[in-house]
Amino acid sequence: MTRVLVLVRHGQTAANRHGLLLGRADPPLCDGGREQAEALARALPAPARLVSSPLLRARETADALAAASGTVVEVDPRWVEMDYGDLDGCPASALDAAGWRAWRDDPAHVPAGGESLAAVGVRVRAACRELAGAAAEGDVVVVTHVSPIKAAIAWALGVGDEVAWRMWVADAAVCRIDTAGPTPRLVAFNDVTAHAVAPVP
């Protein structure tokens, strides 16, 4: 059986439900998000290692997986969500068209005093490289956020950070990367079957 690096987006929060930009702000899961986390815990096999972003919404999701599998959660700050700076907690409309254009056109652009896509890519690629060997021997689950997942997918595909704008990752979605070969391979993207029947109010 192929062992993989499993990337799990945390369950839903109230901010996610309302379409707000959510970076370093640290809200808990909402009721629907906790249901998603429990569904993930039932669906995913016990991993060899379980890694989490330090933010509460990821930790709560990882804790549900840990309770089901008996695996200890390792916190790695490199998997934290992008820093949106002054945009954190705001609707997408808070940034004007010129601001969105600048962000999309240049991965090194830093929006509203936050963090660039390129900076996310640097830290996530380093984390992926460190986990690749372990993931080739036994499943490694990482509970994280949209931007780090996109950066990890870019790493697997060998493409630049600008590809992030061509991806959409659902709440509690699962992506899988096979790291056993000479280059990583994306084998599943945005899989939501684990919680497809879970109600999300």
Which residues are catalytically annotated? 10, 81
Q: Give me 39's structure tokens.
A: 């569904």
Helix (H) or strand (E) holding 51: strand 49-52
Contact 115, 148 (CB under 8 A): no
Burial class (CB in 10 A: 0-12, 13-18, 19+), 70: exposed
Q: Which residue matches tokens 């996530």?
A: 124
Contact 144, 9 (CB under 8 A): yes
Contact 170, 193 (CB under 8 A): no
